[in-house]
Amino acid sequence: MATMALSGACLLKTGSNVNTKFTGLTAEADWEVLILQAESYINSVTRYNWTDAYSTLNVDVKYILEDAVSCLAAMYAITYEMGGYTSGNEAQTMLDFLHDRVQTLIKELKEIKVRDFVTGA
């Protein structure tokens, strides 16, 4: 079960032209897969299991995690089928923005973990 983001947050970031697979009857199950993959990626790249620690985190850190996971899951959904967007450029611009945001948030999460380690030592 996904911990860090809901499908609605992801869907908002895909724009209105995302494939109907992510808005239809099976959308929730499809989003669950993408969100879980995004959570695992965030845990791996930051070298910290945010999922296991989630209930103990500050609300601001939770929102950073939600932002990162929903951006990444939205990227997965956009790349699933880019033909619904008005142009390839539209989809690519969205992907570029989301990618930049994920990279910024990952950097922030790494700094939070280092800061917590240093202050807790």
- Contact predicate 21/30, CB 8 Å: yes
Extract the residue ranges of the chain whose pLDDT is less than 50.
Answer: 118, 121
Domain extents in the chain: 23-120
pTM of the predicted protein model: 0.92
70 touches 39 (CB < 8 A): no
Identify the pLDDT of residue 96. Answer: 98
Which pLDDT score is estimated for 121? 44
